[in-house]
Amino acid sequence: MAEVTELLGAIVTEALDRAKADGLLEGEVPEPTFERPRRKDHGDWATNVALVASAGGNPRSLAEAIVERLPASDIVRSVEVAGPGFLNFHLSPRWLHDIVTRAATEGSGFGRSNIGNGEKVNVEYVSANPTGPVNVVSGRQAAVGDAISSLLEATGHEVTREFYVNDAGRQIELFGESVGARYLQLHGQDAAIPEEGYQGEYLVDLVKELSDGLGDELLNAPADERNKKLGRIALDTMLAQMSATLERFGTTFDVWFSERTLHEAGEVEAALEALRATGRVYENDGAVWFRSSDLGDDKDRVLVRSDGTPTYLSADAAYVLDKFGRGFERLLYLWGPDHHGSIVRFLAAVESLGLERDRVEVSIVQVVSLMRGGEAVKSSKRAGSIVPLEQLIDDVGPDAARYIFLQRSMEAPLDFDLDLAREQAPENPVFYVQYAHARICSILRKAADEGVAAVDATSAPLERLEHGSEDDLMRALATYEDVIPEAAYKRAPQRVTNYIEELASTFSSFYRDCKVVTEDADLTAARLALCVATKNVIADALSLLGVSAPERM
């Protein structure tokens, strides 16, 4: 939280206490909240606390009473009551200078806060089946998961980034059978990929790669053993490829969590026991069912199939217990659109297990449609689920891909304009923002070339910043301290992209109006400090998004 609002909060609270002592206020004294009004003539900061506190009374007269009782403060220039009862504060420009100084000073923690209070958060995302290359939809999940994780870290949470590896179950068997078939085909034998198996060409290449190290000893092994062994090796290779792709995309995980270990360690069985203990488990048709319909689900769900194999729901139950068992206080799940239907049953299981449901947040990261020339690529609404992420990175680069993935709220389907993403022009927001950063670097280089002393933000005569464009830019910087907590709280990285675009635009106007490096040494020093502050904020915001901030373009 910005330092100004703490200060304002203190004096308004004091005034409220006095008003209460004078009998003008009934009930609890509310905590005042502050916002930056849209309109400039509504002051620098405003609070609606009188509207909140008057509860049926007259908000305006309460507001007047608050103003009369405000203790003196050297940062507040004037306060007025406006509209239905807002308190509008006009502040000394010093609060903006303080913003510039802090933003320009490395390590000041500008934009950082500790509202998370060290809460241990597990963010699980991507978690794509390790049976094929990472696709574009997973890429969107990676970008969103990374950004949300970074935002949580920036607001004082202790974050673990986790990838759940679905390395158990029927899909993995099918994968092994598919690999086995490709292996036999490679060795000139007639073999068919199972109908439900993985037909993709990538397995041909994968098997080719593997076979160098394998020789042909598996050719004569029993099919079951061959498929299992090949499947295991192929899966490890696939995972390594996925990891490499994600790394190229700028995503690294703290934990790759194997589903298989849940089964092997008996955690799935333990979770089933725990569910049984709730009395919401019964048998029917030889299968074990969970009475999720008690907890908002349409119908009951199978936990153990009649052939004795557990469903994903069972593993998910074990997994959520495991996560809490590892000491996490909050769990974020980012699931793909195909898991839409399983949220309710999963949360029902969470609740049944006696876990706090509101510590478990499940969000869907929606589909991506790649657009080229105004048309959906491959005439498929879901192009994103079949196009490899590698291809997108080759096409537009990791920065543009990440940025565009983050521009929209994750719950909304995304139209990804490939033409725009590739464009090196201001129409492309990624380049627009990066360009502003590079331009500032260019100014700083110019200053250095001309022998101007390095910026000392603490001593720069910031009172020389009097131009309207300078004022706008300082105010834009101040907003950063509100944007980061809000974006983190809402799990909304698009707030950050919106913000940087606005900041970059405000900077561009400043650039037009105010020449930085001039004969006027004081003014130059002040403007350079403003430039450094802006550069830091752009770079910091981009780094939260996992997008680079180039020094030149």
Query: Site residues for RNA, window 70-89 (CB under 7 A)?
Result: 82-84, 86, 88
User: Which stretch, 115-123, 167-175, 249-257, 383-391, contacts RNA (CB under 7 A)?
Assistant: 167-175
DSSP 8-state code for residue 462: G
553 is a site residue for RNA (CB under 7 A): yes
Contacting RNA within 398-417 (CB under 7 A): 407-409, 411-415
Q: Which is nearer to RNA, 218 or 491 (CB)?
A: 491
**DSSP-derived pairing of the beta strands 375-376 and 368-372:** antiparallel
Q: Which is nearer to RNA, 202 or 489 (CB)?
A: 489
Per residue, what are the HEC states of 223-246? HHHHHHHHHHHHHHHHHHHHHHHH
Collapsing DSSP states into helix, strand and coil, what is residue 117?
coil
How many CB atoms sit inside 10 A of residue 519's CB?
Answer: 6
DSSP 8-state code for residue 135: B
Sign, Cα dihedral of 24, 25, 31, 32 = negative
* x-marked contacts with RNA along 464-503 as a string, rule CB under 7 A: ----------------------x--xx-x-xx--x--xx-
Report the length, in residues, of the chain.
Answer: 553
- The CB-of-516 to RNA minimum distance in angstroms stands at 4
How many CB atoms sit inside 10 A of residue 23's CB?
Answer: 7
Contacting RNA within 40-69 (CB under 7 A): 41-43, 46, 48, 51-52, 56, 59
User: Which stretch, 146-154, 244-252, 267-275, 436-444, contacts RNA (CB under 7 A)?
Assistant: 436-444
Contacting RNA within 103-122 (CB under 7 A): none
Contacting RNA within 281-320 (CB under 7 A): 284-287, 298-299, 301-302, 305-307, 311-312
170 is a site residue for RNA (CB under 7 A): yes
User: Which stretch, 6-14, 230-238, 271-279, 333-341, contacts RNA (CB under 7 A)?
Assistant: 333-341
Contacting RNA within 123-142 (CB under 7 A): 129
The full DSSP string for 386-422 is TSBHHHHHHHH-HHHHHHHHHHS-TTS-EEEEHHHHH
Two tokens, residue 57: 């009374």
- The CB-of-44 to RNA minimum distance in angstroms stands at 10
- As separate numbers, helices (DSSP H) first and strands (DSSP E) second, the chain gives 19, 15
Let me know the angle formed at the C-alpha of 419 by 414 and 424, rounded to the nearest 5 degrees: 115
Q: Which is nearer to RNA, 220 or 379 (CB)?
A: 379
442 is a site residue for RNA (CB under 7 A): yes
Instruction: State the number of binding residues for RNA (CB under 7 A).
Output: 88
Instruction: Tell me which residue has tokens 């990538």.
Output: 202
Q: Which is nearer to RNA, 379 or 512 (CB)?
A: 512
508 is a site residue for RNA (CB under 7 A): yes
362 is a site residue for RNA (CB under 7 A): no
- Contact with RNA (CB under 7 A) among 232, 438, 456, 548: 438
In the beta sheet, which residues pair with residue 361? 332
Q: Which is nearer to RNA, 127 or 184 (CB)?
A: 127
Mark residue 300 as left, alpha or beta (left: phi above 0; alpha: psi -120 to 50; beta: remaining): beta
